[in-house]
Amino acid sequence: MKKINFIFALVTLAVGMSFTACGTDEPTDNTNNNTSSNEVIVSSNITANTTWFKDKTYILAGRIFVVDGITLTIEAGTVIKGQAGSGANATALVVARGGKLMAEGTATSPIIFTSIADEIKSGEIASPNLEPNFDGLWGGLIVLGKAKASLKGDVTEANIEGIPPTDLNGFYGGSDDADNSGVIKYVSVRHGGANIGEGNEINGITFGGVGSGTMVDHIEVVANQDDGIEWFGGSVSVSNAVVWNAGDDAVDTDQAWSGTLDNFAVVCGDATDHALEIDGPEGSANAGHTVKNGWIKGNAASELGNWRSNAQGAFENLYFFNFDAGMADGRGDFDLDDASAPNYGTSLTFANLEITTDSMDLTKIFKDGTDANATKVSAPTSAGADLTVFSNWTWTATAGNLQ
């Protein structure tokens, strides 16, 4: 994972502390208003239906939950910033089971979640002061629901990673696959992944047991120290997603997630481990998901994908390129582990995998027989994504990385 510059982290922490110490007016709807600077410090859980407006900047001063039965509405163009913190003090916005997030940005006014160190304002796309590989500066966005997840011991619920197990608002799972956690549309999450314990970081966007009634469309994750987007069970589908500079895996699936990821782009960074890391069920509940229409740009440090732990699902129309330097060193491959290999051709299928590569034999890249589904191309033909949907509103596209 990418290491944070120590001096920069100290500066960020100091900035966060200065905001916490600011004088505030009387609390309204679980926030404190700093009217002189149009900043709203959010220091306690959202316990009443609340709207955040684009003419304010909202500062998360801790782990903030939208609790059961409550809706948080975020206006298009709003900027939300997390204070610095790690461990139990890591900042994050968490939609608890039964809560709803109505975050409906637009192509001209996306909603941006970022670090307090970011000087970005509503209406801007690129950070004016942070590089797109600075990560771990705050936590991230976590959405929890009541849909099924395949959990160890066949329990019906569990505590999501990234949240201390003592926090009961951090549970996900249940039996309602149609559960609705709201709308997340034209949302960009940046510079997150704060560490809360040894080997336990927060993903850019986490979906835990999120149901199919939830709408997720047009999302971006930039510079997260852990995974970009991760699903833990649930049935929610996601369309038009882009991940740039993930510190671990760009796209990670677990616990028999049964939704679809359609039309997505991955731009691997220097610290990205796998573009795709796919895990299977942990209990007896069995389901696969569909991942299709992906455009995946590699890096010498990164592998195409790894299918582990009885992984299942359908993977189709995926285009890979820029992995050659890593494959020359024995990395960059596309493989199935011993537990997933028996599923190949039945509950685990691949179709129309395309790759641009200089000289590598496909059998050395697409292992365990998956080369039968792969073709060398000089440019994508029928695989890949519609990249035009990311134009203008994503930092990834405006920085010239989707070409």
Residue 19 has pLDDT above 90, yes or no: no
Q: Is 232 within a domain?
A: no
Percent of residues, the chain, with pLDDT higher than 90: 82
Q: Do 243 and 363 have their domain in common?
A: yes
| Confidence (pLDDT) at 220 | 99
Q: Do 16 and 158 have their domain in common?
A: yes
Residue 5 has pLDDT above 70, yes or no: no
Structure letter (DSSP) for residue 297: E
Confidence of residue 200 (pLDDT cuts 50, 70, 90): confident
| Confidence (pLDDT) at 15 | 41
Domain housing 45: 1-174+190-213
Q: Is 332 within a domain?
A: yes
Averaged pLDDT for residues 114-133: 98
Q: Do 267 and 382 have their domain in common?
A: yes
The tens digit of pLDDT for each residue in 137-150 reads 999 999 999 999 99
Separation of alpha carbons 207 and 33, rounded Å: 30
Q: Assess contact for 237 and 216: CB atoms under 8 A.
A: yes
Q: Do 52 and 169 have their domain in common?
A: yes
Burial label for 53, CB within 10 Å (0-12, 13-18, 19+), is: middle
Two tokens at 175? 């039996």
| Confidence (pLDDT) at 185 | 98
Residue 14 has pLDDT above 90, yes or no: no
Mean pLDDT of the chain: 90
Q: Do 205 and 263 have their domain in common?
A: no
Tell which wins on pLDDT, 280 or 11: 280
Q: Is 15 within a domain?
A: yes
| Confidence (pLDDT) at 165 | 81
How, if at all, do strands 92-95 and 171-172 pair? unpaired
Q: Is 224 within a domain?
A: no
Q: Is 227 within a domain?
A: no
Burial label for 33, CB within 10 Å (0-12, 13-18, 19+), is: middle
| Confidence (pLDDT) at 196 | 78
Q: Is 180 within a domain?
A: no
Tell which wins on pLDDT, 190 or 163: 190
User: Has this prediction a pTM greater than 0.75?
Assistant: yes
The tens digit of pLDDT for each residue in 314-328 reads 999 999 999 988 876
Q: Do 16 and 130 have their domain in common?
A: yes
The tens digit of pLDDT for each residue in 160-182 reads 987 878 889 999 999 999 999 99
| Confidence (pLDDT) at 27 | 31
Percent of residues, the chain, with pLDDT higher than 70: 89
Q: Is 223 within a domain?
A: no
Q: Do 48 and 153 have their domain in common?
A: yes
Separation of alpha carbons 89 and 66, rounded Å: 17
The tens digit of pLDDT for each residue in 358-375 reads 867 899 899 999 999 999
| Confidence (pLDDT) at 329 | 65
Residue 57 has pLDDT above 90, yes or no: yes
Structure letter (DSSP) for residue 211: -
Q: Do 311 and 267 have their domain in common?
A: yes
Separation of alpha carbons 58 and 96, rounded Å: 19
Sign of CA dihedral 78, 84, 85, 89: negative
| Confidence (pLDDT) at 162 | 79
On the CB side of 336, how many CA atoms lie within 13 Å of its CA? 22
Count up the domains in the chain and report the number: 2
5-19, 59-73, 239-253, 275-289: least confident range = 5-19
The tens digit of pLDDT for each residue in 210-250 reads 999 999 999 999 999 999 999 999 999 999 999 999 999 99
Q: Is 146 within a domain?
A: yes
Q: Do 208 and 314 have their domain in common?
A: no
Q: Do 207 and 241 have their domain in common?
A: no
Structure letter (DSSP) for residue 209: S
Q: Do 62 and 160 have their domain in common?
A: yes
Q: Do 105 and 248 have their domain in common?
A: no
